[in-house]
Chains A and B, each alone.
Chain A
């Protein structure tokens, strides 16, 4: 018998009580959860045994166990650098953003009226990046620096008008960046040359697609890149600088040096290293390339009343609209981390950042002076924070000496060591290092100030962070209020349920979140010697074993940093499998028309040719069409990408036949794991046909959405594909020797947040996980039942049941009344709800995924609200409401509009603002009215609004 408290968390996670579940089952005509599942899941794929996860654990027990694991990580002082640096996350930011569900549980800001807070913060991030790089436009984050450089290469390739296919990457780039770019370049048909830009560029005969240079270099050296940039331009290539934000506080901007694209990581702006992530990378370029940029871009528009409002701009570049022609496959990015680093810049302001930058550089300078006095020679006398020392035959001894003192430094090769300073380092640490180098000298507490290590010709004279946003909130009181003001503008899970189909907005429990800020998980450098990281190794092993048990696959890679990156990685694994069997011609990828936009976008990145397969009238893959196309492309069939259960929220009966058909034609089956929340514990993809799948830890396994990231998208595969899983050039044993190379900058992606999924699985145990799935399916069927008399439910599977989500059809309403799914989405805001997924996967519909975490009363409140809106639509039909001037078409209603002296609508203020009783006790006031998309897309404006406008706001 289990001790009762061990199961405590399960009932905290699952929103309904046993009694409520019985009641709901009863309404659906079932005796038990098992009966419902039996009637919903195809018999052939139903897994009836128990997962081998083990017993559930209470929150306290799981935290205690993870704490013991975390203590196995040895925390050394890190001077390794290579794009990862120590930083202090200001405590006001830790508590009010990083540990605050108001920020971390929100969704990607597709519904701008309920996302003005995080949109403003992401715009601040863009402004910050534009200021430091000097470029015209920046996006609101990418996954990491390595992939940001790869995206810059893709942009250059996209706009390249010549026939060249040559990419130059300087050897002064971080090795993990070179590794990621190499993996990306190959399927794009690009040739890559790695070399010294000062020498190699002159020798090139061919034109270039682009040239990539690190600034300052990975060994810390600062060389003026402008000469190399003009050589790249002469070869008709785009010049890409991978740069360091803190160094740019002192150095000339990439723009001033002639770069076309500037990328990098904002990690050292307040984001812990976390053994690799998550961190926000940035991407900035010239205005003329904006339509080819990857990732989310926040823009300024106006609302219905002409008031300033933020929104996602230029969305037509993105995968959810452009599919295989998108500028990138990126979907989930690193919104929460971009928000943290923007907040860091706001809190410190330009003076604060400059002071940190100078302090770091000064310490490096003083350290190097003492080394030189002791007879050491430097690799370069021009550096910002990283000193590379020629140590010759002393290298090994000094390196080991450092380890003995619990200090990690970078061993560049057998004759050089490299030391990177950062915000957390002080004179004490520098003197400790000097001793490690056997120097008799030491730095005094108040050293003379002179930054002669920064080349005069490259010193920055231009200003940055001049906008009032960066010059106002420097006291903790002001900062806390600014963050609260923004938080209040948004709907996140701490306000109401977010029933986004395909996004699984389940509970992100506090106990799951606590470990990410433990220093044992937050502080390690991703390239720390693995012997120090026994804690992380144990965490990875546990998680991999659990994912094996859940998916039925044998191989797991934790490297992919988001779902779309998992897709890309999985397809690259398939690509390598074919090519190793001398069938590299197999490049056709069949994708059903209902697939996520990321699928075709990822296939394109993996060098595959997308062939779209139709869906039949029931929303299933059209088997005949699939058969025809598989046959037609039999010779070249590489893969099928299939989502299961389908994006239509249905357990397709034919899934086994579909997989067998593809295998018959020697293709591989990639399963998009976006809907894994309907499978855990009741069906294993590894048992019914797919060869590889990704797992969205930020959907199924409780990592919060963070307003658009972080995510994690590990992939799992069958035995025959294991040897091709992602690898890494710096930490070699993170993957197989013959792997596809690196897909992320860090060996295990965003390692620190893997602790969230560890906690979730540990607390739920085998039984809890299965119960979660069963209840997710119960809740979806309950919602479908409640709504079906008011809105048609578009698709259903066996016995009329849906899987874990359902689609309501608005198309008839639209043709009869002119009310669209968007109108309903905006009217939901007046009721305090975030809209379900809109217009996808079928235009004119809404997809609802309630998850297992919602209570019966919340499910009812949500359904009653939709039913109430339907009754308002009926009033339009009956003529009681005007066809144009009605509360749905004008939604959402702001307090400003409602309290203004002229109210000229054909309905009352009360009908507008308080259409339901519950609102009188708890009302969300949207900060803006409906945002004008056309205006925003015609007037593209992606920086903080002018100072004048800002002052008006403040007044």
Chain B
């Protein structure tokens, strides 16, 4: 997962060309428990870095979905909207949340790499 970057809001981001795929980390799904609902932004929406773009709900918690970078929403993952529990099974693979055509690549620079995120996750859990 070397090409992945991570945010403090427990999102991962993977850049391919100008399009970034964004999801939540396995660690985040473990904190949330059984996910039952997700609301994602509409296609075409322009979103600002660190802004709220949706909601994710489990049986015991609800959390906003943030975007770690700015850009235009070019795709959303319909299959998880239909069955949100898929996020629990494959959060860092097929169950990505949305894709952005990003505005400013440099925004990725301040995000964490895998090693840094694992350390961050461990610290914030204790």
Contact = CB atoms under 8 A, between A and B. Distances in A.
Contacts of B36: 934, 937-938
B62 A937 contact: no
Interface in B1-54: 34, 36-37, 39
Interface size bracket, A side: 10 to 19
A325 interface: yes
Given A316-B57, A938-B85, A322 B34 contact: no
Given A321-B61, A322-B62, A938-B85, A291 B37 contact: yes
B59 interface: yes
A380 interface: no
B61 A316 contact: yes
B44 to A, nearest CB: 13
A933 interface: yes
Nearest to B59: A933
B113 interface: no
A35 to B, nearest CB: 39
Contact of A321 (B37, B62, B84, B85): B62
A325 B66 CA distance: 14
A325 B39 CA distance: 15
B62 A316 contact: yes
Chain A residues touching B, majority SS: helix
B126 to A, nearest CB: 12
A322 B57 CA distance: 10
A321 B60 contact: yes
A548 B55 CA distance: 44
Contact of A934 (B55, B59, B64): B59
Contacts of A321: 60-62
A322 B55 CA distance: 11
Interface in A307-341: 315-317, 321-322, 325
Nearest to A323: B62
B58 A316 contact: yes
A315 B37 CA distance: 12
Interface string A289-318: 001000000000000000000000001110
Nearest to A938: B36
B54 to A, nearest CB: 12
**Most chain A beta carbons < 10 A, residue from B58, B59, B85:** B59
B64 A937 contact: no
Nearest to A822: B60
Nearest to B57: A316
Contacts of A322: 62
Interface string B83-100: 011000000000000000
A653 to B, nearest CB: 27
Nearest to A933: B59
Contacts of B61: 316, 321
Contacts of B84: 938
A938 B38 CA distance: 11
Given A934-B34, A938-B85, A325 B64 contact: yes
B28 to A, nearest CB: 15
Contacts of B64: 325
Contact of B59 (A291, A317, A937): A937
A287 to B, nearest CB: 14
A382 B60 CA distance: 50
A291 B54 CA distance: 13
B101 to A, nearest CB: 22
A937 B37 CA distance: 8
Nearest to B56: A316
Nearest to A316: B62
A140 to B, nearest CB: 19
A204 to B, nearest CB: 27
Contacts of B59: 315-316, 933-934, 937
A291 B84 CA distance: 15
Contacts of B62: 316-317, 321-322, 325
Contacts of A938: 36, 84-85
B6 to A, nearest CB: 23
A446 B62 CA distance: 60
A87 B46 CA distance: 55
A325 B62 CA distance: 10
A501 B9 CA distance: 32
Contacts of A325: 62, 64
Nearest to A326: B62
B90 to A, nearest CB: 17
A321 B37 CA distance: 15
Nearest to B58: A316
Contacts of A316: 37, 57-62
Nearest to B34: A934
A757 B61 CA distance: 36
Contacts of A315: 59
**Most chain A beta carbons < 10 A, residue from B55, B62, B84:** B62
A325 B37 CA distance: 16
Contacts of A934: 34, 36, 59, 85
B50 to A, nearest CB: 16
A315 B36 CA distance: 12
A548 to B, nearest CB: 40
A66 to B, nearest CB: 45
Contacts of A291: 37, 39, 55, 57
A938 B85 CA distance: 9
A933 B34 CA distance: 9
Nearest to B42: A161
A291 to B, nearest CB: 7
A325 B64 CA distance: 9
A576 B4 CA distance: 50
B32 to A, nearest CB: 10
Contacts of A317: 62
8 contacts: A291-B39, A316-B62, A322-B62, A839-B60, A933-B34, A934-B36, A934-B85, A937-B37
In the A-B complex, the 9 residue pairs with the closest CB atoms: A316-B62, A937-B36, A933-B59, A316-B57, A934-B34, A937-B59, A938-B36, A322-B62, A934-B59
Given A291-B57, A315-B59, A934-B34, 13 more contacts: A291-B55, A316-B37, A316-B60, A325-B64, A839-B60, A933-B59, A933-B60, A934-B59, A937-B34, A937-B36, A937-B57, A937-B59, A938-B36
Interface of B: 34, 36-37, 39, 55, 57-62, 64, 84-85
